[in-house]
Structure 1
Amino acid sequence: MKKGKGMQFVGDSRITADKKKFIPKDYSEYPGKTEAFWPNFLLKEWLVGAVFLVGFLCLTVAHPAPLEGPADPTDAAYLPLPDWYFLFLYQLLKYEFAGGTYFVLGAMVIPGLAFGGLLLAPFLDTGANRRPTKRPITVSLMLLGVVSVIWLTWEAADHVDWEAKAEQNKPIPETAVEVDTEDPGYAVYENSCLQCHGDSLGGGAAAPSLIGIEYTVEEIKTIAVEGIDTMPAGQFQGTDEELQQLAEFIVSTNEQAAE
């Protein structure tokens, strides 16, 4: 038998004859319509994100978020509000069709449908055309969502005096003044004022700090009996001698704080 006689060669289509290196697709035939995801499109996304992040950080430095004081469960007049990015949901619950007995509709159903529609939008709108005029349904729904969020947020924020709210509920700094508990006036303070103004005169959610005030002994005695601002009259119950001790104790503590 001659060499090679009776032999057969079978080709396998799964194996390429020449292994080519990965070459990105040439998009030059579609000028201005599409581009390579890596690195062109992704680099643009990163640049836009970096600009937004720097701008947002500058905004937080220029206008820091107002912090409030510690929560006080006894303050029935306090009006809790969510952060600004949830104000539109807060406003939605004020309407009759989304609040009260229909709370579940306003808290879960309507927001769920809205955000669910945004998640499904890429799968429902599969058209190749990117022009807004060629995608009227998608663009209209998106504009409706954006306008609704902006309008509801504006309605919720427009009825709140934010500066007054921040001033009333700002954190009370801790005082470094060492209160003389051996002073006879402290015992009077403990019985009449400590519940609202705190054990170190630093104030609380229901009353301001007594550190840093510039009242005289006589003025403090008058305030303790007659009240001032939100402090009603008749808060002090004691003798004239105890009232004198209380006023002198508060003044001496402030003099120590000023040193």
Structure 2
Amino acid sequence: MHRGKGLKFVGDSRVLHPSSRKKKGPKDYSEYPGKTEAFWPDFLLKEWLIGSVFLIGYLILTVSHPSPLERQADPTDTAYIPLPDWYFLFLYQLLKYQFASGPYNVIGAIVMPGIAFMALLLVPFLDTSKERRPFKRPLPTGFMLLAIASIIFLTWESVVNHDWEAAKAQGEIREEVSVEFDENSEGYQLYSTSSCIGCHGNAFEGGIGPTLVGTGRSAEEIYEIGKNGIASMPAGTYQGTDEELQVIAEFISTLEASE
């Protein structure tokens, strides 16, 4: 047999030509006219425009409503009641309940939040359904609604039950007032052992209550306030005798700011 003659070439129709095979990668956006767009610059430009609107909005809010500042932290002020930011108010409220405070503080601070976060991590394993409709996924939907309802309720309870006037007063930035007084005097000794010092400070600088330096009130007026109260100070706050209150009132009436 001569070379090049008598040879037969047989093709197998089961083997597809490379050009006829389907692409495994994503289809080009041009195959969907009117439904897709190029990532650059069309889609990315829209993202930048939306991001710019939100950024400008946040900047306007921060300028028109700046974050409130309080006076310098004083570790010796045991009357100061700290308050977390709004997104932690629900945990703050949880710690007020009997079952999550005091000797059970670990339950409210660690155990209950830990269970909630563990449940969130286990949701993908508890529900493996491919269904996307919420009402056909009762387990994760129920967890989500329960979590949202709990957070909203606890946050609301924290807001309505908090004394915002007292919180504003205790953190108010005040001009520092220095005063010279005799710590061994009877008036100061009675003052320092009374409930007055918790609200007005050990140097009369103020705290939850106003400063007692340079009030411009007479001893009689201060006595009446201590007896009957004023504004946010209720009557009967002072628990000592009338004679002791009179001594304290006379002492406070003499306090003046030093130069």
What TM-score results when the alignment is normalised by the length of structure 1?
A: 0.54
Q: Which residue of 1 aligns with 2:120?
A: 114
User: Do the aligned residues in 1 keep the contact of 2:204 with 2:211 (CA within 8 Å)?
Assistant: yes
Measure the CA separation in 2 of the matches of 1:44 and 1:66. Answer: 35
Aligned residues: percent identity? 35
Cα separation, partners in 2 of 1:177 and 1:209, compared to 1, 3 Å = closer
Cα shift readout 1:113-145 (whole Å, capped 9, x = no counterpart): 425758x9xxx89x9xxxxxx832599688767
1:45, CA displacement in angstroms?
A: 3.1
Two-structure CA RMSD over aligned residues (Å): 5.0
1:108, CA displacement in angstroms?
A: 1.9
User: Do the aligned residues in 2 keep the contact of 1:202 with 1:211 (CA within 8 Å)?
Assistant: yes
Measure the CA separation in 2 of the matches of 1:223 and 1:198. Answer: 17
Measure the CA separation in 2 of the matches of 1:56 and 1:62. Answer: 10
- Equivalence map 1:233-248=2 (5 Å): 233-234=239-240, 238=244, 242-243=247-248, 245-248=250-253
1:168, CA displacement in angstroms?
A: 0.8
Q: Structure 2 residue aligned with 1:48, among 47, 50, 57?
A: 50
Q: Which residue of 1 aligns with 2:132?
A: 135
User: Do the aligned residues in 1 keep the contact of 2:90 with 2:158 (CA within 8 Å)?
Assistant: no
User: Do the aligned residues in 2 keep the contact of 1:203 with 1:210 (CA within 8 Å)?
Assistant: yes
- Equivalence map 1:152-191=2 (5 Å): 152-161=150-159, 165-170=163-168, 171-179=171-179, 181=180, 187-188=185-186, 190-191=188-189
Measure the CA separation in 1 of the matches of 2:38 and 2:98. Answer: 50
User: Do the aligned residues in 1 keep the contact of 2:190 with 2:248 (CA within 8 Å)?
Assistant: no
Instruction: Determine if the alignment matches structure 1 residue 193 to structure 2 residue 196.
Output: no
Instruction: Determine if the alignment matches structure 1 residue 202 to structure 2 residue 194.
Output: no
Letter in 2 for 1:248: S
Q: Which residue of 2 aligns with 1:21?
A: none
Measure the CA separation in 2 of the matches of 1:139 and 1:214. Answer: 71
* SS of match in other structure, 1:109: helix
* SS of match in other structure, 1:193: helix
Cα separation, partners in 2 of 1:47 and 1:188, compared to 1, 3 Å = farther
Measure the CA separation in 2 of the matches of 1:107 and 1:42. Answer: 39
Q: Please list every run of 5 or more consecutive structure 2 residues that lacks an aligned counterpart in the other structure.
A: 1-26
1:29, CA displacement in angstroms?
A: 2.2
User: Do the aligned residues in 2 keep the contact of 1:186 with 1:246 (CA within 8 Å)?
Assistant: no
- The number of residue pairs the alignment matches comes to 212
Cα shift readout 1:191-215 (whole Å, capped 9, x = no counterpart): 233543235422135x442257563
User: Do the aligned residues in 1 keep the contact of 2:100 with 2:107 (CA within 8 Å)?
Assistant: yes
1:246, CA displacement in angstroms?
A: 1.1
